Structure 1
Amino acid sequence: MIRHNSNDAGKLDPEFGRDGVATIIHHDYPSITISCVETGPDQKIYVAGTVSGGSVPASACVLGRFEANGTLDSGYGDSGFAQWIYEGFGIEQVQSFAFQSDGKVVVNCTVMSGQERRCAAFSRVGVDGWIDKDFGENGHTVLNIVLSPPTERSSPPKPSAEPDNNSLHSSGQSAANGRVSILPDGKILTSLNYFFNFSQIQGVLIRLHENGSLDTSFNQIGYLPVIHPDYMLNATVLRHVTVQPDGKYLGCGNVYDDSATPSSAMFVRYDPFGVLDEQFGEHGFVTIGSATHAHMIKATVMQPNQRILGFGDTHDNASVMTSLEPDGSPNIQFNRGQPLYTELQPDAITTWSGAAVQANGRIVLVGGLGERGQADIVVARFIDADLDPEFNDGQGWVRTRLENGVQSAYGMTLQDEKILVCAKLPGGKSALLRYLT
Structure 2
Amino acid sequence: MNQISGNTAAGSLDPSFGHGGVVALPNWARSIAVLPNNKLIVLTGASLQEPITVAQLTEAGALDPSFGDGGMVEVPVTGYRMLVSHILVLRNGNYLIAGYESGTAPTRKYVCQLLKNGQLDKTFGEEGLATIQVPDIAVADVGQRARFFSSPEQKLTTDGIYFAGEQIAVSEQDAKIYFCAHVYSETRGVEGVLFRLNSDGSSDTGFNDRGYVVISPGTGSNIRLTSLMVQGDGVLVGGGFISATGSREVAFLKRYDQRGKVDSSFGEGGTVIIPNGADGRTSVIYSVALSDSGLIVACGESGKTDEKEGLLTVLNPNGSFNLIFNQGQPLYADFLLNLFFSTSVFQHGGKIIVSGSGGGGYVVAARYDLFGNLDPTFGGKGWVVHDSIVALAVESSELTADNKIVVLGKRSLQKSAVRYLG
TM-score (norm 2): 0.85
Superposed displacement of residue 90, structure 1: 4.2
The corresponding residue for 1:23 is 24
Instruction: State the SS of the aligned residue for 2:111.
Output: strand
Q: Which residue of 1 aligns with 2:385?
A: 399
Measured at CA, do residues 114 and 5 of structure 1 come closer, stay the same or move farther in structure 2, by a change above 3 Å? closer
Q: Within the alignment, does 1:68 sit opposite 2:55 as a pair?
A: no
Alignment match of 1:301 (pick from 266, 289, 302):
289
Structure 1 contact 311–321 (Cα < 8 Å) conserved: yes
Q: Give the aligned residue type for 1:109.
A: G
- Higher RCO (CA-CA < 8 Å; seq separation 6+): 1
Instruction: Check whether the contact 1:249–1:269 (CA below 8 A) recurs between aligned residues.
Output: yes
CA drift at 1:309: 1.1
Unaligned 5+ runs, structure 2:
145-155
Residue identity matched to 2:421: L
Q: Which one is further off, 178-187 or 9-18?
A: 178-187
| Alignment-mate amino acid for residue 119 of structure 2 | W
Do the aligned partners of 2:399 and 2:405 also contact (CA within 8 Å) in 1?
Answer: yes
Summarize deviations over 1:304-363 as a string: whole Å, max 9, x none: 642211111236321211222222222222222222122232xx3222222111121111
CA distance in 1: counterparts of 2:404 and 2:198, whole angstroms: 34
Residue in structure 2 matched with residue 386 of structure 1 by the alignment: 373
Letter matched to residue 307 of structure 1: L
Distance 1:432 1:338, change over 3 A: same
**Structure 2 letter corresponding to 1:284:** G
Q: Describe the superposition over 1:259-305 as per-residue Cα deviations: whole angstroms up to 9, x where unpaired.
A: 69752111111111112212112221122231422211112111464
- In the TM superposition, residue 410 of structure 1 has moved relative to its aligned partner by 1.5
- Paired amino acid for 2:204: D
The equivalent residue for 1:143 is: 132
The answer (yes or no) to whether the contact 1:204–1:225 under 8 Å persists in 2 is: yes
Q: Report the CA distance between 1:364 and its aligned residue.
A: 0.6
Select 2:268's aligned residue among 282, 285, 300.
Answer: 282
Q: How many percent of aligned residue pairs carry the same amino acid? A: 26
- Equivalent residue for 2:149? none
How many Å apart are 1:5 and its aligned residue? 11
Offset of residue 365 of structure 1 = 1.0
Q: Which amino acid aligns with 1:414?
A: L
3-state SS in 2 of match to 1:283? coil
Q: CA 1:232–1:335 in structure 2 vs 1: closer, same or farther (change >3 Å)?
A: same
Code of the residue aligned with 1:313 in structure 2: it is: E
For 1:328, the aligned partner's letter is G
Q: Equivalents in 2 of 1:325, 1:370: separation in Å?
A: 32
2:327 match: secondary structure: helix
Separation in 1 of the partners of 2:55 and 2:257? 34
- Counterpart Cα distance in 2 of 1:116 and 1:208: 21
1:88 lines up with 2:89 in the alignment: no
Q: Which amino acid aligns with 2:374?
A: L
3-state SS of 1:314 partner: strand
Q: Which amino acid aligns with 1:220?
A: D
1:390, CA displacement in angstroms? 0.8
Following superposition, the deviation at residue 213 of structure 1 comes to 1.6
Pick which of 356-365 and 75-84 moved more: 75-84
TM-score, L = length of structure 1? 0.82
**2:307 matched to 1:311?**
no
